[in-house]
């Protein structure tokens, strides 16, 4: 099983805290404001940095679920199932943050929280629901090995919504804007720097959360093994 030393864990935690504060500085101070011309709510644009970073990390987390699920089905090694479950939970967290902060910005800028006809918004919601169902599946099934295998298939299939969610606004330009360079005009370089820092900060933080959550799964499995040693009915 994976063993991360306390020093490494604390180091990653401290690094992620520093990077998040740096990302806040970049988002609020370093990055320039958008022009008042062409923006209804120019100040609200600063939601963009952590909103996009949340979405990217959710894609990363679901990507890890995809890879870990394949490895679990291939090797039948419990470790990969634990990684997949841990990553799915964190992915749902960051996807939730993206889905909540996006409409807040949308309301400020365009007057609408949500537009169902926008493919990107719809696919991101579907992605979120799929992985919520993944977590529900894991918590509902008594047989952990059966749950792991079913969830692995679910995680692999569910991941295919990630590229659809990512690319939807590039294929069907609708409500949701395109982030990086497009025909509609690219973002300023300093804004790109701030965005990159936010993405890196949240990615490092994701690694920290994954370690923490994985260690919880290790404890869960230790409890299962100990219960078998004692005899389940003696422990209530």
Partner 1 sequence: MSMNDIIYVYIAYTIIFLGIAAYIFYLHTKQTKLTQDVELLEELVKSHGKRKRKPKK
List residues near partner 1 by CB under 8 A: 36, 40-44, 46-47, 50-51, 54, 90, 93, 96-97, 100-101, 104-105, 107-108, 205, 209, 212-213, 215-216, 219-220, 222-223, 226-227, 229-231, 234-235
Nearest to 134 by CA among 148, 123, 146, 122: 148
For residues 39 and 45, is the Cβ–Cβ distance under 8 A?
Answer: yes
Please tell me the distance from the alpha carbon of residue 107 to that of residue 53, in angstroms, as a whole number. 19
Q: How far is the CB of 7 from partner 1 (least distance, A)?
A: 18
Residue 205, SS3? helix
Which one, 106 or 151, has the nearer CB to partner 1? Answer: 106
Which one, 27 or 119, has the nearer CB to partner 1? Answer: 27
Q: How far is the CB of 171 from partner 1 (least distance, A)?
A: 27
Tokens of 64: 């890890």
Which one, 143 or 234, has the nearer CB to partner 1? Answer: 234
Q: How far is the CB of 167 from partner 1 (least distance, A)?
A: 24
Q: How far is the CB of 190 from partner 1 (least distance, A)?
A: 18
Please tell me the distance from the alpha carbon of residue 173 to that of residue 184, in angstroms, as a whole number. 10
Please tell me the distance from the alpha carbon of residue 184 to that of residue 46, in angstroms, as a whole number. 19
């Amino acid at each position: 099983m994976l063993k991360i030393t306390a020093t490494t864990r604390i180091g990653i935690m401290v690094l992620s805290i520093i990077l998040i504060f740096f990302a806040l500085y970049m988002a609020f101070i370093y990055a320039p404001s958008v022009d008042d011309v062409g923006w209804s709510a120019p100040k609200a644009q600063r939601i963009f940095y952590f909103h996009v970073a949340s979405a990217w990390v959710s894609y990363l987390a679901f990507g890890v679920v995809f890879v870990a699920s394949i490895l679990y089905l291939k090797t039948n090694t419990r470790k990969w199932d634990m990684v997949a479950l841990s990553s799915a939970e964190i992915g749902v967290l960051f996807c939730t943050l993206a889905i909540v902060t996006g409409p807040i910005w949308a309301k400020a800028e365009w007057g609408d929280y949500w537009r169902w006809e926008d493919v990107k918004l719809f696919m991101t919601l579907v992605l979120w629901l799929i992985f919520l169902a993944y977590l529900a599946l894991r918590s509902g099934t008594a047989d952990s090995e059966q749950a792991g295998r079913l969830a692995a298939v679910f995680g692999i299939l569910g991941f295919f919504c990630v590229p659809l969610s990512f690319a939807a606004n590039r294929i069907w330009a609708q409500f949701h804007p395109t982030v990086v360079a497009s025909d509609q005009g690219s973002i300023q370089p300093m804004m790109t720097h701030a965005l990159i820092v936010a993405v890196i900060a949240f990615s490092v933080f994701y690694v920290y959360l994954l370690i923490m959550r994985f260690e919880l799964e290790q404890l869960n499995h230790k409890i299962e093994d100990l219960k078998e040693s004692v005899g389940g009915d003696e422990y209530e």
